[in-house]
Structure 1
């Protein structure tokens, strides 16, 4: 094949062309092309029938060819078909009652019935007409015997007309409309019985072809398509054949409704008895169960992973908190060490006004330790910086220390007893410790002090201030300071007779002759008796070591880390390990003591 390429246009600028040539034109080659394919065949058909459009063949030629092929098949079947011999009983039919006769049996088509083709009907009529024609019957001596011939003619008239034949097939008396049993004995019985019933009913369908019931191994898509077809079954069946002229229209509609209901019942009954439906339901149940198990397994796995992640998160948080605590403790220890070194550098631990003894130095050291344990980390850093600014000024350091201790006592009066030496020193400096300048304690005032200490136990908010107010209100005495109340209470606890021996004896013997109702229910107490002296001696032999703020903080953190919900048997062992220098028993007693203090505070608040 030769072709000529067009020349390049004059306006084309080759300098601006950016085209890239990937390959040149290949050399021509000689090949063979076969005339095959659906398009080529369509072309040949159009050329053979002199058609110009492809649709003309499908619209006009193809249907005619299919109809011609069907007629040829019917003719071939009719040639091979043998008409049934006439039943002798049919010869006595009355042509007047032609609607009651079996047209298929009259023509000898009883074995085919609705399956008989038009060619077969025509052939059967031809044979019956030749056999029972009146002229032939007259030649045999039956001149007036034409009744059966009339029945043959009427049967052919009905069956040769498509409309009349459909009306007759709708009420064919030879075919039953009964439904099979709902439950059958075995699987094969279901397919044999219901298969024939659906085939029988399928002849009334407007949609053709009708799908078959299939067998047990039929694919699910085929079974679902079968029941979809029958659920939407559209029947052409009518009942006007048996009606009289122009009447019973309503009767026909009622028969159609009943027939539709019968088909619906048949489909529902078949679906309920179909073993394949039960098999599909069982498969769906198993599939749902597997999915449920998979979901539960996935949920459990996700929950376990979540719990594991949370546990790891808590572990990391606790480890981080412990590391921060240790780091803070180490920093605080270093700051405390720095503060102690500063105190030592300025000789704070040495009494400048009196001769320094080991007891005095120990008391000062204990005072500094208690101060540092009571201060927070930030307060310790501030105290260190303030001490550095004081340099070697002993008076400024004493004032700074006194301010810090006083602030601690105001925030937590319960620790005031730990700074008793400081308080005594402050009182002596102010001239308030001298017995000559103190107001004497009377027996009645001591009596009320004892009752007040019982009424407001340790742990009460602003305890000594509250006791002082209570004494002033109930006894009418001038109000005493918290230091005086604390000092006198300590003397009474130790059984001291200093400054008030006679008053103690008077107080002990007063209850017998006392008519004050406030003391009516109070038990007699001997502050110098042998029982209290033995208890004091026992307490002196085994003094209870006070809890430092640092130990209290460690205990509180341990209780938060191992709350009562922590059910492990080694809970108190772990708490004791977290509090440095304390045993499990001491921790338990401390917790019990704190709980009692809280209850006492609540009771005092309720009484107030």
Structure 2
């Protein structure tokens, strides 16, 4: 709770009598009902007659003149009285109570009270001191006040204490003007305090009210109250030392009373804020909103984490699949290359062996020397590929047993044309023959493989699932696209055909369906078997295992969405050996046994 400051500007207003108090409260009500945002508050004081004529007191008939308020001594003045009005009221009182009119001495208590009232109320400092203590109720509502009394008691207490509010000047700030020429935000009047309100007052107004009292400054002066408490008459002091001592005592007591006043206002504000149902509801609403926001943020965070986790798992799975495909493709390509290298090495050795055998055997256009034969053969082995070397080997007979020395001429002609960079007609023709033969062989092997199913590897099955997922049902040329995807992804040495892919996928679907049906059927048979074991064979109403099985099939076939009587009629017809009532009883018996 912020510290409240007591200062001493010009005093506000408050009467000491009951009637004058109502006038002061009326003034406070008028000032606090002004709209928010005034640059300067200017409220005219309430005139003595503005709230109705007050009944004057006959001071001679009053039993104790010291108990009469100074405002009432001068004829029932208002709390907001001005020095001119005090002077005028004093003159009117003198016409009644002056010794020249009454014939009494100047020590008459009534006339002394009139003079005291004039001296006090016409002097702003003395009036402020008098107003600080005269007939003021310092009590505040208790901390355990019932809610039904909250608004009445605390509202009245705040209005009562607002009489001591310091009138502040509005801060002058340079504000940029909007395009319309008006201030973007109006200046806030620091002296405006909104009404305390009731249970329906908007929370913005409630916060503004409490903000005013948090910044509340009091001008209340306790000099007079401190003098009475110390029982010191400064004017009657015998010397300067005694007078100084009395003033110090009064000042010390005054500071203590000011400190107690600050605490009293702080306690009033704290109790009100603790008991205010409007603040409690706003606090609960803010807490609920905060909790909801925290819950929403937690849900969003959890969903984000789950999404990130799912994306990470999918990325890892995709990376693993890609790595498996890469390794499978690399392995297949390596196997193909190794096979080609092996075949090429075999063809090189065969051609070298046949050429050397032909040189030894001799024939037309034979090599002049072994060195010449070896050089030409090695040159051809280095330059020719797997599609050409078999043609030269075929020209030499393809084996030592069927060696044809006439092929020497073809080999030497191939050497000359290859060395010169020209195409050899024989080699071109033989290459085409070999190519056609290889294609026919590959086709034959593919057809044979299609007829004789090959086992699918894990990588092929994974690629098949992935391809089916990417190509939905109804797409044109679906299975051809799937086959091409598997072959290109895995670089299979023996490609899969679209018929193989379709056949394997149908087999997978059929197997899954059979497993599901077997699982469901097994559960039904176990249930029917357990039920049949409990039946007695000799009982004419006993159910056999087949009858129980028929009943369960009928229950599945004719579901509970049918009309009840019609359903059980159809079930009895399906079972055939039992009537409708027996079927119902058996169903209830089975259901009861399952609940145990």
Do these two structures clear the TM 0.5 threshold for a shared fold by scoring above it? no
Greater RCO between the two (CA within 8 Å, min separation 6)?
Answer: 2
The structure with the larger Rg is: 1
